[in-house]
């Protein structure tokens, strides 16, 4: 399964990292207002359409639209014979940067294999949980992979939850994977430096999540 912006809480990801795309809070507001307008109808969004949503003057909104175009975050396309505004370049960049960061930071040197595992796990969890993953859940899966967990270990954790008739959640899987990693360390090395306390382990995950996943230009 290829990652798609519909699989992600793209707005949350954008709020966390929009500054790496070279836009400010006003540009972010324009994007969200455009999304709201485009969710109702495919049209060419102009400053005239946005001014009723915002406190910014029309001239400044025009400048922000030009900036978003120059940054390659929006585009104008022809659909059914009319020109419309599309946020597709922004969606594609968010997905591309997220996937790229996971691949780059993974300890597995086989990038193609890691990329495939990442995509498989997103689809796997969506099927198991019967819904689209939230941005927080996406972050936690990425962090699990960065911590050295592999697809087999993560699916084993899911199987353990289901065997006990417990609901599958990323948080519960996270906890079991930490235990499996610790057991694996002890089996190989005779000890484990991983934290005994799960709350401390969670802070390690949060440290990973705090890293910018969009490379600075």
Per-residue pLDDT of the chain (217 residues; tens, 9 = 90+): 455 555 667 888 888 888 888 999 999 999 999 999 999 999 999 999 999 999 999 999 999 999 999 999 999 999 989 999 999 999 888 888 777 666 555 544 555 666 677 778 888 888 999 988 887 887 788 778 777 788 888 999 999 999 999 999 988 998 898 888 877 767 666 655 555 444 344 444 445 444 544 444 4
Using an 8 Å Cβ cutoff, are 142 and 98 in contact?
yes
CB atoms within 10 A of CB 107: 9
Q: Which CATH number fits domain 5-90: 1.10.10.10, 3.30.70.100, 3.40.50.300, 3.90.1150.200?
A: 1.10.10.10
Using an 8 Å Cβ cutoff, are 181 and 148 in contact?
yes
Q: Which residue has the tokens 């859940």?
A: 137
Domain boundaries, the chain: 5-90, 94-209
Q: Is 22 helix (H, G, I), strand (E, B) or coil?
A: coil
């Amino acid at each position: 399964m290829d990652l798609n912006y519909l699989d992600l809480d793209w707005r949350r990801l954008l709020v966390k990292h929009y500054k790496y795309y070279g836009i400010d809070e006003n540009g972010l507001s324009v994007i969200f207002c455009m999304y709201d307008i485009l969710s109702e109808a495919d049209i060419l969004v102009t400053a005239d359409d946005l001014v009723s949503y915002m406190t910014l003057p029309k001239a400044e909104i025009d400048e922000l639209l030009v900036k978003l175009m120059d940054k390659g975050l929006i585009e104008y396309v022809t659909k059914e014979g009319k020109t419309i505004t599309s946020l597709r370049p922004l969606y594609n960049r968010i997905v591309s940067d997220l996937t790229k960061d996971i691949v780059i930071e993974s300890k597995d040197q086989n990038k193609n294999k890691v990329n495939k595992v990442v995509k498989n796990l997103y689809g796997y969890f969506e099927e198991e949980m019967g819904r689209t993953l939230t941005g927080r859940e996406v972050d936690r899966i990425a962090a699990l992979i960065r911590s050295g967990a592999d697809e087999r270990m993560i699916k084993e954790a899911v199987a353990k939850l289901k065997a006990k008739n417990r609901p599958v959640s990323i948080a519960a899987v996270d906890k079991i994977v930490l235990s499996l990693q610790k057991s694996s360390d002890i089996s190989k090395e005779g000890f484990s430096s991983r934290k005994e306390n799960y709350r401390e382990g969670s802070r390690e995950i949060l440290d990973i999540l705090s890293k910018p996943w969009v490379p600075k230009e």
